[in-house]
């Protein structure tokens, strides 16, 4: 049976689901760090602690997670929309200059964000043009602050 909607309508419907914004960091083969903005993130299991991120097969991150078996989910703070834009392929020299990474074993994560979850790849599932990467969370860092939100293609903040 054919879909009763086109891809624009599908995107509009998905955009009604308000999310936070994350940057997925993963090591490169050369031991450097690569990052990518993602909002297709969800918690999965408490025991064992598992989270999921859906990654487009066309991204660089897709191959890097598959080859390293490591990634971190960095949840952005309300003032970090420029960081999200930077890691979504719109490079910003000011953002780049301010970036700093810490490592948990061989998993890199952002030093400055709301929370980071360092993960070992647990399983990968076919998600059409995306792959669903499940990570077992090995370490977490949580800081004070409010989250950056994304709703109907726009960055938002929690209103009082
Ligand atoms: C709000 C939002 C949510 C998104 N959600 C998802 C999602 O859930 N899943 C998905 O697959 N795509 C998502 N995307 C799209 C995704 O972020 C882009 O397609 C991204 O460009 C893919 O990154 P890449 O791995 O191909 O790397 P590239 O496009 O090559 O790099 C991404 C950007 O990060 C910069 N960068 C990377 N590493 C570093 C580093 N170490 N230091 C400094 N800068 C660095 C690069 O300069 C570049 O600007 C989302 C985009 C937005 C705006």
pLDDT tens figures, 88-128: 999 999 999 999 999 999 999 999 999 999 999 999 999 99
**Mean pLDDT taken over the chain:** 97
- Give distance in angstroms: CA of 35 to centre of ligand 1: 6
**Amino acid 160: pLDDT:** 78
Question: pLDDT band for position 146 (50/70/90)?
Answer: very high
CA atoms within 13 A on the CB side of 87: 24
Closest C-alpha to ligand 1, atom 14: 38
**Amino acid 63: pLDDT:** 98
pLDDT of residue 1 exceeding 90: no
Residues with CB under 6 Å of ligand 1 are 21, 33-40, 54-56, 59-61, 84, 86-89, 91, 96, 99, 150
- Per-position DSSP letters for 5-17, written without gaps between them: S-HHHHHHHHTTS
- Give distance in angstroms: CA of 2 to centre of ligand 1: 32
- Give distance in angstroms: CA of 49 to centre of ligand 1: 25
Q: Which atom of ligand 1 is nearest to the CA of 36?
A: 23
CB 95 within 8 A of CB 107: no
Question: pLDDT band for position 3 (50/70/90)?
Answer: very high
Q: Which atom of ligand 1 is nearest to the CA of 40?
A: 8
pLDDT of residue 17 exceeding 90: yes
The CATH class given to the 7-157 domain equals mainly beta
pLDDT tens figures, 47-96: 999 999 999 999 999 999 999 999 999 999 999 999 999 999 999 999 99
Spans of all domains in the chain: 7-157
- Give distance in angstroms: CA of 91 to centre of ligand 1: 10
User: In terms of pLDDT, which residue wins out, 1 or 25?
Assistant: 25
Question: pLDDT band for position 159 (50/70/90)?
Answer: confident
d(CA 133, CA 38): 12
**Amino acid 79: pLDDT:** 98
Q: Which 8-state DSSP code applies to residue 147? A: B
């Amino acid at each position: 049976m054919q879909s009763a909607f086109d891809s624009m309508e599908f995107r509009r419907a998905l955009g009604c689901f308000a999310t936070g914004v994350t940057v997925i960091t993963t090591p490169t083969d050369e031991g450097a760090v690569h990052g990518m903005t993602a909002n297709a993130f969800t918690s999965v299991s408490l025991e064992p602690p598992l989270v999921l991120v859906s990654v487009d097969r066309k991204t660089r991150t897709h191959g890097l997670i598959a080859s390293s078996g490591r990634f971190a989910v960095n949840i952005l703070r309300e003032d970090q929309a420029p960081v999200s834009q930077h890691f979504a392929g719109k490079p910003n020299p000011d953002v780049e200059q301010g970036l700093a990474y810490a490592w948990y074993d061989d998993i890199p994560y952002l030093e400055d964000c709301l929370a980071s979850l360092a993960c070992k790849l647990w399983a990968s599932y076919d998600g059409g043009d995306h792959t669903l990467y499940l990570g077992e969370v090995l370490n977490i860092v949580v800081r004070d602050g409010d989250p950056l939100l994304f709703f109907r293609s726009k960055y938002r903040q929690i209103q009082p």
